């Protein structure tokens, strides 16, 4: 019968002592190996490490692919964001005996541009517009601002801006469509968002177009137009809405730009009376194809003016005569579409 020495591994016929190393084979107990040697020799560990390496590599490849897809999607899909009010330019100087409040602003549009729109001197307005890089043709003087019923038919790349009264049910549908696109923001007093298939959605019941404005867009030029009237109690100040649009980029059928609605309005004051206040509603968006942009919540339900009839004679402000609007059952909404042709 052959036995193996537990110390040196020598095989020999059964005996008490090893013929090679002389150890007592019956009483010899080998020393236990250090735990780390036993651990690293375990084949299960080898398999686990291999699986972990393969899994980590696969996860890295997956995350990298997802990040690339996200980058592509972010540059191709319509988007909207509202400017933060933390980086506001200084407000324009207030008119005598008025209290002008600026709530937010579009950083790319100089605050002094609004002063040009409110100036009673058309030449000054044009000079300021030229100094600020505004399009002289698109900058509305106070006299031109009263012609709210005029719609410009333009060719080439242009914006189409609709001022509309939308009942709550129709507005809810538009907001739902905008939220589903992932590009809707509710910001303080107003909300804004991208709406897919806007042209078709504007055909639904509950949307009444008050006024349509078409403006050509050109890189490097800021569009500006105003609808308003002179306020009798504050000479030199024009009550109404001024629209600024600055083109950032055109990529094929997609347009990226900055939109700002500035409102000069007679509103309740903290002291309990009424005072002229100026507020701004800015947004940066990208639209193209069948997508469009909407902004809601920029129009108060009342003008609080002595000459209210003069304001409501303009198409944009006929909503102030609406009993639904005054009761909060409808909303003033601005729609923007882009046509590259």
pLDDT means per 10 residues, the chain with 341 residues, are 82 83 79 64 75 82 64 41 37 38 35 33 38 36 39 75 96 94 85 93 94 88 90 82 90 87 91 89 87 93 88 94 94 93 77
Q: In the structure encoding, which two tokens stand for residue 48, read together?
A: 């686990």
Q: Are 101 and 279 spatial neighbours (Cβ–Cβ below 8 Å)?
A: yes
- pLDDT on residue 200: 92
Which residues, at least 6 apart from 208, have a Cβ–Cβ distance to it below 8 Å? 164, 165, 166
Which residues, at least 6 apart from 232, have a Cβ–Cβ distance to it below 8 Å? 306, 307
Distance of CA 215 to the CA centre of its chain: 22
- pLDDT on residue 244: 93
Q: Are 228 and 249 spatial neighbours (Cβ–Cβ below 8 Å)?
A: no
Q: In the structure encoding, which two tokens stand for residue 55, read together?
A: 């899994």
Q: Are 256 and 174 spatial neighbours (Cβ–Cβ below 8 Å)?
A: no
49 CB burial (10 A radius; 0-12, 13-18, 19+): exposed
Distance in angstroms (rounded) separating the CA atoms of residues 239 and 278: 9
Cα dihedral 185, 191, 192, 193 sign: positive
- pLDDT on residue 291: 92
Name residue 250's beta-bridge partners: 255
The Cα-based distances of 261 to 52, 102, 225, 266, 286 in angstroms read 56, 12, 10, 16, 17
The Cα-based distances of 52 to 40, 48, 58, 61, 106 in angstroms read 16, 6, 10, 14, 51
SS3 315: helix
Name residue 2's beta-bridge partners: 13
Q: Are 263 and 281 spatial neighbours (Cβ–Cβ below 8 Å)?
A: yes
User: What pTM was estimated for this model as a whole?
Assistant: 0.59
Which conformational region is residue 73 in: left (phi greater than 0), alpha (psi within -120 to 50 degrees), or beta?
A: alpha
Name residue 4's beta-bridge partners: 11
- DSSP H stretches of helix in the chain: 35-40, 43-76, 112-118, 122-131, 142-145, 168-180, 198-201, 308-312, 323-326
194 CB burial (10 A radius; 0-12, 13-18, 19+): buried
Q: Are 288 and 80 spatial neighbours (Cβ–Cβ below 8 Å)?
A: no
Phi, psi of 323 (to 5 degrees): -65, -35
Distance of CA 301 to the CA centre of its chain: 26
Distance in angstroms (rounded) separating the CA atoms of residues 132 and 305: 32
């Amino acid at each position: 019968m052959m036995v193996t020495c537990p110390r040196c591994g020598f095989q020999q016929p059964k005996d008490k002592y090893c013929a090679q190393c002389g150890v007592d084979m019956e009483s010899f107990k080998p020393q236990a190996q250090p735990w780390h040697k036993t651990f690293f020799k375990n084949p299960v560990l080898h398999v686990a490490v291999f699986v972990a390496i393969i899994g980590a590599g696969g996860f890295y490849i997956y995350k990298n692919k997802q990040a690339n897809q996200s980058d592509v999607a972010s540059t191709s899909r319509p988007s909207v964001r509202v400017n933060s009010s933390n980086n506001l330019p200084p407000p324009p100087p207030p008119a005598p005996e008025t209290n002008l409040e600026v709530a937010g602003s579009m950083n790319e549009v100089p605050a002094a541009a609004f002063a040009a729109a409110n100036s009673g001197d058309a030449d000054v307005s044009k000079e300021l517009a030229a100094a600020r890089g505004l399009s002289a043709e698109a900058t509305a003087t106070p006299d031109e601002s009263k012609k709210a019923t005029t719609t410009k038919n333009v060719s080439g790349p242009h914006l189409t801006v609709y001022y509309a009264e939308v009942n709550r049910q129709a507005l809810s549908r538009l907001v739902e469509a905008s939220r589903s696109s992932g590009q809707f923001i509710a910001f303080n007093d107003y909300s804004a968002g991208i709406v897919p298939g806007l042209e078709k959605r504007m055909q639904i019941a509950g949307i009444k177009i008050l006024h349509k404005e078409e403006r050509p867009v050109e890189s490097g030029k800021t569009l500006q137009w105003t609808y308003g009237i002179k306020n009798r109690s504050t000479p030199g100040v024009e009550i109404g809405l001024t629209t600024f649009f600055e083109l950032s980029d055109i990529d094929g059928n997609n347009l990226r730009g900055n939109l700002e609605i500035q409102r000069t309005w007679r509103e309740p004051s903290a002291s309990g009376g009424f005072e002229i206040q100026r507020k701004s509603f800015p947004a940066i968006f990208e639209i193209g194809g069948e997508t469009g942009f909407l902004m809601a919540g920029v129009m108060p339900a009342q003008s609080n003016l002595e000459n209210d009839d003069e304001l409501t004679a303009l198409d944009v402000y006929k909503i102030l005569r609406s009993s639904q609007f005054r009761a909060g059952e409808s909303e003033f909404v601005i729609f923007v579409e882009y046509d590259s042709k």
